[in-house]
A and B are shown apart, each in its own frame.
Chain A
Amino acid sequence: MSDAIIEFDRVSKIYQSGGGPVTALHDVSLSIADGEFIALIGPSGCGKSTLMRLVGDLEQPSAGGLRVRGKTPHQARLDRDYGIVFQSPVLYEWRSIRKNVELPLEIMGQPGPKRHARADELLRLVGLGDFGDAYPHQLSGGMQQRASIARALSFEPAILLMDEPFGALDEITRERMQLELLGIWDGGDQRTTVIFVTHSIPEAVFLADRVVVMSPRPGRVERVVPIDLPRPRSFETREDPRFFALVTEVREGLREH
């Protein structure tokens, strides 16, 4: 694929542990197009987080080739090509919410007034316009995660890596956050490429253009389910018979092996 922004070519990852080598990923080939929303789903130990971290150069593959925007993941990281959101918000507790969102801009050397304005703009975007001066511990889990998403988007990275970002939230907050995330993703001039790791089948189907179903021991890609639900997606999407059909298809993919 010529417009691929991320290209896995027979990538394997083997960890050396006390009980001998453990294969976290085996022979994974996957091509992700620019602007695509990819959900990675699978049981614990299937290597979906590892796959994501390889893209971020937070871990190194043991074998195979991986290109991110035509570069090595290392160079892509140095070029600040991606923003990352973890399962926990990982906000720095001594910084106000605004200062947390500014952190990457600060490190990348943007001048104060400019990054201040940018942080406020993003906080409004994620519905935290009034909370810039608050400290993380004063916010609910959902609000903290919104701030963490704002921080990841602050420097307009081409790729957004999300590692179970809504995993710790209650169901109601979670569904609202999914909708908000799509609103932000759809709203920009140019769609960011998203890799979204999740445990939840409906979440994967609701959000993604393609769901990558993975299986464990060793972690590998079981099947890729294209999601042809129309965009923009809404609360009604979850009541669409096609939604249920796709949820079933992903579930069956998880059951094979």
Chain B
Amino acid sequence: MSSIQHSTFKIQHFLPPILTFALAMAAWESLVRGFDIPLYLLPAPSQVVATFMERPVYLLGIGLATFGNALVGSLIGCGLGCLVAAACVRWPLAADGLVPLSVAASAVPIIALSPLLGIWLGSISPASKVGVVAIMTFFPTLVNVYRGLSSPRADSLLLMRSYAARQRDIFLKLRVPAALPFLFNALRICASLSMIGAVVAEFFGGPQNALGVYIKTQAGILRTAEAWSAIVVACLFGLLFYMAVVAIERRALRWKL
């Protein structure tokens, strides 16, 4: 909720984290130089940036490929999560069985399924990465959206009953709008989860032009600066995904501002 409280961008809000980031980078840089840490152990930020600048188009390209898996995976996972959540509201018996299980599943490291999905869907094919992301994002979305759809209080529902409202109207005009803040909460969680899922899934195999594969390969031959430059790209796409969700949230939940 706190992320959408400020309706205007103020430099005061951004200065502290930017300064902290700059300080951390400066400390990293001087540590590496001061202690003469070898490149294969830990490259300085300046070396990482220089490595990135050698082939920015390639790195961003493989970043985009991995991000594509994260995006498609979360669209499938979050979409199915919403549908099943709606079904759970309609059929409470399904909710009794599914929701507690999904809460438990949210706490399970689903990424551990990655090698198995490789067996089932092909370790090189993007389907196995998309699958991991879809499973990872499905459970938190189901749990959050179900809570949101069930969030209207008794009086809000009685009001609809007093109008002799149809089930469809109760769902669309009460439950769905009440669930939106919960949905965006889930989407923000899923934006971070999906990038993790997509990159880590590629550690277990994938096409050559993919972030996870690149990071693993480069790290394997101790080309640490190359690995780091790809990690930076992963961070970049993860951040962009998250910020895009927050931007949509700000528009959709304008009434909260």
Contact = CB atoms under 8 A, between A and B. Distances in A.
A104 B174 CA distance: 12
Interface string B171-190: 00110011010000000000
Contacts of A56: 162
Contacts of B166: 107
A165 to B, nearest CB: 12
B35 interface: no
B96 interface: no
Interface in A82-117: 82-84, 86, 88, 90, 92-96, 103-104, 106-108
A63 interface: no
A107 B156 contact: no
B173 A58 contact: no
Contacts of B253: 94
B252 to A, nearest CB: 10
A83 B162 contact: yes
Contacts, number: 50
A77 B173 contact: no
Contacts of A90: 153, 155-156, 159
User: Chain A interface secondary structure, helix, strand, loop or mixed?
Assistant: loop
Interface string A46-88: 0000000000111000000000000000000110101110101
Contact of A80 (B155, B159, B163, B169): B163
B165 interface: yes
Contacts of B162: 56, 58, 77, 82-84
Contacts of B119: none
A135 interface: yes
A104 B153 CA distance: 18
A92 B155 CA distance: 11
Contacts of B169: 107
A112 to B, nearest CB: 14
A57 to B, nearest CB: 8
Q: Which of A88, A92, A94 has the most CB of B within 10 A?
A: A94
A244 B73 CA distance: 72
A78 B164 contact: yes
A158 to B, nearest CB: 13
Interface of A: 56-58, 77-78, 80, 82-84, 86, 88, 90, 92-96, 103-104, 106-108, 135
